[in-house]
Chains A and B, each alone.
Chain A
């Protein structure tokens, strides 16, 4: 009841019965005469302006260099993964879009330098808000963002990107993991960038354990 009282009082104060007065300035006689066609002025003006329409998807415009696009899990120059499965990205994520499970590297299965690697790595792009806090959190620069922005799909499952979807492709001279670390190096050397190419020992190891590996250099025995 009290609310109704207030309502009434307000209506009273707002001048319920006063006539409508527009705040726009009243036009002169000429203005009033052209008023019915004045709107075409906007159309005419734009005939002479440059076209800004983007022809997506026929023409794809590259975004700005620091655009926050799809994530990428990077590799070291010898092909070992940078991700150590520490889950700091998952911890930093405000949208709970990242799921990681770590595991231990073993001599037979060395995926990244050091003791630990990310066995499971998922980013749910239905949740991701592309804020980039995960990138800031990553202690090994394993996780960065690409400029790829075409992240739509017909299924929910398809938008949960797995590790193989996120891993950077093997670059020139890289050897697919798993393989041992470069001889005589530590994870610190990798982190500081002291490992710049694949060592012969690593090639030999892969040639011995996976002779059919397509990333082996040409000339190394296959099969």
Chain B
């Protein structure tokens, strides 16, 4: 009975009595939930509203009587587990508050649960927030009668580099195993053995401690052979009602009473998951999932949970830096702003202008993106602003402007969950979607999932997806002629086509997705990877799009925005996309560049050369990076936990968050406001409220002001005999996961995948191979022969040893050369 915001239809209700209080609840409600509604607390461990009932811990025993066939009330002979029994009409329930029998039963269960519990609360991470500790105090006996020796296990047992298992503390409630089976689909841990030796373990004979007790099914293993490699494993730590599962990064770090909890929104993906940041003395110690029924429900990804150390590493820029005689020197804000303004003014007043560009990066908030866009257009007078520092195309911009930007809440998580059919185009639900995968997993078996991809990844496999094979780059042609059954399934009402950001790399894919949507009536959801992508789109931080999805080429839209901004007019020259900006900068085609959170190694172009050849570079960064190394002025900005703002998630839902840790760090929009002021322009983006008021003041967009939907015909053939397929795995070496070795250890081992035929063709069937792309270095990785499309080589985008963009300089869909045969 997971509560969702979806409107509940009129339902049958039953009325029962709990502790003398009459309660009316929907039919099928569990007694424990009905009691919650009546404000009566029944102690429990295994029960979790998002998991199926298990009745494993027996802590919630209550006295139950229900009317028999003759209508007379008949009591059950023994107390019943209220977490597994549904209510019936006229039922009479007596909890521990009113029934001495139930109270005695609960005390007995708790005493038994504590028999083998080590009671090492002083050293346990859960101490102070432990349901077992709390309920032993509130519902248990005051003294233990147990005098014998307790069962001991070796501890802690690392399930992964991040998740540690202490089997002594475990009360076998099976929340973790139910979560990993039902919610995440990564059944790497399960109950093993019997009786007092029953324990949670991985499918490894070392853990079992004796041979011949292998798992019933085939134990799923990834290429590393590592157990419990799940992107969602951190959730088991949060739902563990005792301290049996703890995380290595939070191990012994603090106590609940030390922590200040601030609600927030995760900066790691476009889902906008609700998180809770726990910090102590200004240092973040951990993050937990916050409950948000319409977005992430109870769960977040491990990246959301564990990747926060990057914000406070040693390379954090805390004071403005200005390059003086070739060296970056710490200065004051007024001096740095003056220097930045001076450089930009010089570039703006050049006689032979080559251009100024703005690259905000894809991780900024809506307010920041708006400030970057406005700064570029109103202050610098250029349309060269692009937040898409990834694979992108003009077709994508037209697609986004025509169908995504300014459309408000489109397809929602709830719609995805209820959709009868879902088609993924260049989108990996687990790697690129995070919690999107969990919502789809809920509907496993009830919806038809198909994916247009070169091979069926583990995430898609877990969703029971059908593979519609496509060589990267030819997705458009595949969408044109989908298998009849897939196309038919999409004509059902409520069907959804999910396009990922990589669709921009396949010419015609987005045009064909729109055509498919028109043919079948399926709705389109665009799910990018980064948190700021949708916000940047709404804020007009794309070269051809003004705020709200207005076409920058439309004179009416331009004058509308110019009027709102109080400027005489907006620049006319069409803006360049990030790849063009970088390539033209590398060819000395740029006078100045304002650059935000852009990771150089994520881009295929020669960014370092571009930065070197650009006359003047202003960098707004949190940490020292390759960009700041070449910048002329570095203005430090606040990381997400130290600022407030709004991420717009892929649904178009505004996910506002407040400042978790108050420091003197400034948001990008505030820094840009100060910089504009220095240039003699009132940008009006000093506060989040000011930006939001300005955005809210813009009128609705007329459809005539939007760009036309793209009509690009897809290429029929791949770009080469062997083309690259690649995407970012959720846990990899991206900049926002720096400083968190425990999380990195849960990432999947980097391998190159190709079909048997391709492997044969290139003469490699085992060992490692060397990929080389357009330029520079190569990527050498072990080969895994996979059931996939021929003529395609897959490599993870930024996993250890496989930094595709930096080392190969190619994007998915580009031809690639393969050399191999060295073991």
Q: Can you report 11 residue pairs joining A to B where beta carbons are below 8 Å apart?
A: A86-B123, A87-B258, A90-B255, A91-B255, A101-B254, A102-B123, A103-B252, A103-B253, A115-B156, A116-B123, A140-B122
Given A85-B252, A87-B258, A115:B123 Cβ within 8 A: yes
Contact in complex: A91, B257 (CB < 8 Å): yes
B127 at interface (Cβ–Cβ under 8 A)? yes
Contact in complex: A102, B253 (CB < 8 Å): yes
Contact in complex: A86, B257 (CB < 8 Å): no
Hey, which chain A residues are within 8 Å of B711, CB to CB?
none
Task: Tell me the bound Cα distance from A102 to B128 in angstroms.
Answer: 15
Interface residues of B (CB under 8 A from A): 122-123, 127-128, 155-156, 251-255, 257-258
Nearest residue, chain B, Cβ from A87 = B255
In the assembled complex, the CB of A181 is this many whole angstroms from the nearest CB of chain B, namely 14
Known pairs A84-B122, A91-B128. 14 more at Cβ < 8 A? A84-B123, A85-B252, A86-B122, A87-B258, A88-B122, A90-B258, A91-B257, A101-B253, A102-B123, A102-B252, A102-B253, A102-B254, A114-B123, A116-B123
Given A84-B122, A84-B123, A115-B123, A104:B255 Cβ within 8 A: no
Task: Tell me the bound Cα distance from A86 to B123 in angstroms.
Answer: 6
In the assembled complex, the CB of A212 is this many whole angstroms from the nearest CB of chain B, namely 30
Give the size of the chain A interface in residues (CB under 8 angstroms): 16
Report which of A86, A88, A104, A140 forms a contact with B251, defined as CB distance below 8 A: A104
Task: Tell me the bound Cα distance from A35 to B807 in angstroms.
Answer: 106
Contact in complex: A86, B253 (CB < 8 Å): no
In the assembled complex, the CB of B168 is this many whole angstroms from the nearest CB of chain A, namely 11
A139 at interface (Cβ–Cβ under 8 A)? yes
- The secondary structure that dominates the B interface is loop
Hey, which chain B residues are within 8 Å of A102, CB to CB?
123, 252-254
Hey, which chain B residues are within 8 Å of A90, CB to CB?
255, 258
Nearest residue, chain A, Cβ from B155 = A115
In the assembled complex, the CB of B638 is this many whole angstroms from the nearest CB of chain A, namely 26
Task: Tell me the bound Cα distance from A139 to B251 in angstroms.
Answer: 19
Interface residues of A (CB under 8 A from B): 84-88, 90-91, 101-104, 114-116, 139-140
Contact in complex: B252, A104 (CB < 8 Å): yes
Nearest residue, chain A, Cβ from B254 = A101
Which 6 pairs of residues, A with B, have the shortest CB-CB distance? Answer: A86-B122, A102-B252, A116-B123, A139-B122, A87-B255, A116-B252
Task: Tell me the bound Cα distance from A115 to B155 in angstroms.
Answer: 9
Hey, which chain B residues are within 8 Å of A115, CB to CB?
123, 155-156, 252
Hey, which chain A residues are within 8 Å of B123, CB to CB?
84, 86, 102, 114-116
Task: Tell me the bound Cα distance from A87 to B123 in angstroms.
Answer: 9
Task: Tell me the bound Cα distance from A148 to B205 in angstroms.
Answer: 56
Hey, which chain B residues are within 8 Å of A101, CB to CB?
253-254
Hey, which chain A residues are within 8 Å of B156, CB to CB?
115
Report which of B127, B155, B258 forms a contact with A86, defined as CB distance below 8 A: B127
Nearest residue, chain B, Cβ from A112 = B123
Task: Tell me the bound Cα distance from A151 to B127 in angstroms.
Answer: 33
Nearest residue, chain A, Cβ from B150 = A188
Task: Tell me the bound Cα distance from A87 to B259 in angstroms.
Answer: 13
Hey, which chain B residues are within 8 Å of A104, CB to CB?
251-252
Task: Tell me the bound Cα distance from A209 to B125 in angstroms.
Answer: 31
Task: Tell me the bound Cα distance from A116 to B122 in angstroms.
Answer: 9
In the assembled complex, the CB of A108 is this many whole angstroms from the nearest CB of chain B, namely 16
Hey, which chain B residues are within 8 Å of A114, CB to CB?
123
In the assembled complex, the CB of B164 is this many whole angstroms from the nearest CB of chain A, namely 10
In the assembled complex, the CB of B133 is this many whole angstroms from the nearest CB of chain A, namely 13
Nearest residue, chain A, Cβ from B280 = A101
Hey, which chain B residues are within 8 Å of A84, CB to CB?
122-123
Nearest residue, chain B, Cβ from A117 = B252
Hey, which chain B residues are within 8 Å of A88, CB to CB?
122
In the assembled complex, the CB of A82 is this many whole angstroms from the nearest CB of chain B, namely 12
Hey, which chain B residues are within 8 Å of A91, CB to CB?
128, 255, 257
Hey, which chain A residues are within 8 Å of B255, CB to CB?
87, 90-91
Task: Tell me the bound Cα distance from A101 to B255 in angstroms.
Answer: 9
Nearest residue, chain B, Cβ from A85 = B252
Hey, which chain B residues are within 8 Å of A87, CB to CB?
254-255, 258
Nearest residue, chain B, Cβ from A102 = B252
Task: Tell me the bound Cα distance from A87 to B122 in angstroms.
Answer: 8
Nearest residue, chain B, Cβ from A119 = B252
Hey, which chain A residues are within 8 Å of B251, CB to CB?
104
In the assembled complex, the CB of A157 is this many whole angstroms from the nearest CB of chain B, namely 17
Hey, which chain A residues are within 8 Å of B155, CB to CB?
115
Task: Tell me the bound Cα distance from A222 to B606 in angstroms.
Answer: 57
In the assembled complex, the CB of B161 is this many whole angstroms from the nearest CB of chain A, namely 14
Hey, which chain B residues are within 8 Å of A139, CB to CB?
122
Task: Tell me the bound Cα distance from A116 to B258 in angstroms.
Answer: 17
In the assembled complex, the CB of B17 is this many whole angstroms from the nearest CB of chain A, namely 41
